[in-house]
Structure 1
Amino acid sequence: MTPVLIITVISCLMFIMSLSLIYRALRDPATSRVLDRLGESQGPLTEKNLSMAWLDRAFLQAGLGRPSQRLGLWLAMWGAVTVLAGLLGGWAYFLIFLVLPPLLLRLYVSWRYQRRVRRMVEQLPQLLDHCVRSLKAGRTLADAVLHAIESSSDPLKSSISRVSRNVQLGVSLPDAVEDFAELYERDEFRMFALGLKVNHRYGGSASELLENLILLIRERDQGARKLRAMTGETRITAVVLAVLPLFVGGYFMLTNPSYLTKVWNDPSGQHMLLTALAMQIIGCLGLWRMVRSI
């Protein structure tokens, strides 16, 4: 086992070093100039090539930047740790390290995105109110929106600053806000983009439109808060029912670990534990869907 382990570790280190060399070669200025000339010879890029990868999109939504620059290195490290865990602990540890890190990463990114976008929606009425005051002071709609973006605070400022960058690159303000709304996938941002597009195409009072949008967003937020207060007992019950079997299993592992070991060593006990695990997963998914449907 020891020679195999040493060879595996050396192979993983050599693989990581090769990825590092490839990354440095791609970051070299001469290589970048060659790739730019090759890209010019290929003509304009298609919409599919310009589309954002799902991983970059998820990390941008969560405010974590683009992970694709070091993706190969992280994948190599994850693969090396997974192989070592399998060699040292068996197939059970191999499956745990194979499934658990991506699952935890997905849950963390989703939680961070939900928390961040909730805070952004709370800051949106302040930005719109700043736009209304700027419009009444004599500014144009585009100037009012861009000035409000500069005066806003994080996390909304760092996220919606892509609108300012797109406008500086020549994109129209409604299209830039629509791109921002499609990235973060919230109805409040889509309504903001739709209002700008309607005003840009058909005209009208922009200040009155933004004031009505502020009122609508605040009413939606008030209704959501009331709904969370009314369904708090149901959500707490779902969390308790989902976590209770895990606590019971942890209690057995701490007080009498030989009990679960004997059950796992028995074939019928393995079937029972695997069936319980499958039922726990199905129950958690069912409770999650029930809570999301409220």
Structure 2
Amino acid sequence: MTGPLLLSLIGLIMLGLSVRLFHQSLRKTGTERVLSRLAQGQPQPSAGKPAWTGLERAFLRAGLGRPTERLGLWLTLWALAILLGFAIAGWVGSLSLLLIPPLVLRLVVAGLYRRRLGRMIQQLPQLLDHTVRSLKSGRTLADAVMGGIEASADPLKAAMGRVQRNVQLGVNLPDAVHDLAELYEKDEFRLFALGLKVNHRYGGNASELLENLIKLIREREQGARQLSAMTGETRMTAVVLALLPVLMAAWFMLTNPHYLMSMWNDHSGRQMLIAAVCLQVSGCLALWRMLRSI
């Protein structure tokens, strides 16, 4: 009886959602669409930030756009999936669909952010080198940086588009680059912003400053690669230690499932298995924290 009621409730919710979206699409005029497009990429004030700023920041850093535009739709679909999981598998399915999607989303967004940021740092010396050559040809610092952004490739060009928009809106170049550095929270961008700010305030040879910054970024990248090569054995050992118990349990379930199921059906054996799972999760978290410190 519970299943048909939940399915009927899901159908009514989806019907109401479709009617609401259709009504919104009819009310939204062409002027509102243009204004919403012009508002994208504008510098946001620090005061009065919405509650979903952290989620929006993570999506922007990963190059996925702004999720808050359709946040209500995604939350509604997530709630429907939780109800559907409850109708199919009870509380286990409902709890699984409540916890697994946010965890998977966080891992995917974090992975995309790290990969995108690594490519941007690799492209940054080329942008700075183009800026130095433009400075030596007689262009101003702001024009040289803008030219370097135009000559760059994605994803750095797309990220630096934020700097271009802020400069076109009247923000000076050091503050625009500082805003980018605070968004991505990377030392290389912060050093770039600091160098521009020092040159803007006190003057000096900007080309020499940028050449030193190029040398510093390349030395940091070389040091990071050497550290990764030196700690490769340690990281591989941690991966093996984390996967070995899981692989052993999977092997037992494939070859002799009665062995583990007999333990699960016994009260003391069930407590041992639950304790083993808790220790495995704790050990994986400890290994992950240790690897992050390398």
2:14 corresponds to: 16
- Choose 154-163 or 243-252, whichever is displaced more: 243-252
Question: For this pair of structures, how many residues does the alignment match?
Answer: 284
2:54 corresponds to: 54
2:241 corresponds to: 241
1:88 corresponds to: 88
Alignment of 1:151-166 (within 5 A): 151-166=151-166
**Equivalent position amino acid for 2:273 in 1:** L
Q: 1:252 touches 1:260 (CA, 8 Å); kept in 2?
A: yes
1:136 corresponds to: 136
Q: 1:20 touches 1:73 (CA, 8 Å); kept in 2?
A: no
1:203 corresponds to: 203
Alignment of 1:117-266 (within 5 A): 117-266=117-266
Q: TM-score, normalised by structure 1?
A: 0.89
Q: 2:121 touches 2:188 (CA, 8 Å); kept in 1?
A: yes
CA 130–51 in structure 1, closer or farther in 2 if over 3 Å, else same: farther
**Equivalent position amino acid for 1:153 in 2:** A
Partners of 1:18 and 1:273 in 2: CA distance: 45
- Choose 15-24 or 188-197, whichever is displaced more: 15-24
Structure 1 residue 24: Cα displacement:
4.9
Structure 1 residue 280: Cα displacement:
0.9
What are structure 1's unaligned runs of at least 5 residues? 37-44
Structure 1 residue 83: Cα displacement:
2.3
Structure 1 residue 73: Cα displacement:
1.8
CA 84–253 in structure 1, closer or farther in 2 if over 3 Å, else same: farther
Q: 1:166 touches 1:176 (CA, 8 Å); kept in 2?
A: yes
Partners of 1:262 and 1:270 in 2: CA distance: 9
SS at structure 2 position matched to 1:63:
coil
Percent same amino acid at aligned positions?
59
Q: 1:19 touches 1:72 (CA, 8 Å); kept in 2?
A: no
What are structure 2's unaligned runs of at least 5 residues? 37-44
**Equivalent position amino acid for 1:293 in 2:** S
Partners of 2:146 and 2:17 in 1: CA distance: 42
2:42 corresponds to: none
Q: TM-score, normalised by structure 2?
A: 0.89
Structure 1 residue 81: Cα displacement:
1.9
Structure 1 residue 205: Cα displacement:
0.7
**Equivalent position amino acid for 1:12 in 2:** I
